[in-house]
Amino acid sequence: NAGVTQTPKFQVLKTGQSMTLQCAQDMNHNSMYWYRQDPGMGLRLIYYSASEGTTDKGEVPNGYNVSRLNKREFSLRLESAAPSQTSVYFCASSEAGARQYFGPGTRLTVL
């Protein structure tokens, strides 16, 4: 039982490059989330998926797209990376409650 897994753990991109962050959970949760965490800013919600087949914008969705591939997987795509997207990205899942389970994070640097 791995919980929430994320790949890659680290990534360096050049401005304008694209990439997809992968997230998977094995807890059969309906809801999944993508957050970014910047120093002194706490966690900010980018996108979420309340159930398979649905996605909605969070607080800071600009520059990102998501896909809920199936119940287990929720990916985050940066189409044209910018230095302002340098951050730590966390994926989380929950069963429609206040308790969210977080993955280990992806540390992204955009040069």
Least distance in Å: CB of 45 to other proteins?
7
CB of 95: closest distance to other proteins in angstroms? 9
Q: Which of residues 24-83 bind other proteins (CB under 8 A)?
A: 30-31, 33, 35, 40-45, 48, 50-51, 56, 58-59
Contact 101, 94 (CB under 8 A): yes
Contact 25/31 with Cβ under 8 angstroms? no
Q: Which stretch binds other proteins (CB under 8 A): 9-17, 18-26, 70-78, 96-104?
A: 96-104
The window from 7-15, 17-25, 74-82, 100-108 that contacts other proteins (CB under 8 A) reads 100-108
Kindly state whether residue 13 participates in binding other proteins, applying the rule CB under 8 A.
no
Q: Is 84 helix (H, G, I), strand (E, B) or coil?
A: helix
Bridge partner list, 107:
10, 88
Which residues in the chain belong to E strands, given as ranges?
A: 4-7, 10-13, 19-25, 31-38, 42-49, 56-57, 64-68, 74-78, 87-94, 101-102, 106-110
Name the residues that contact other proteins, by CB under 8 A.
30-31, 33, 35, 40-45, 48, 50-51, 56, 58-59, 90, 94, 96-105
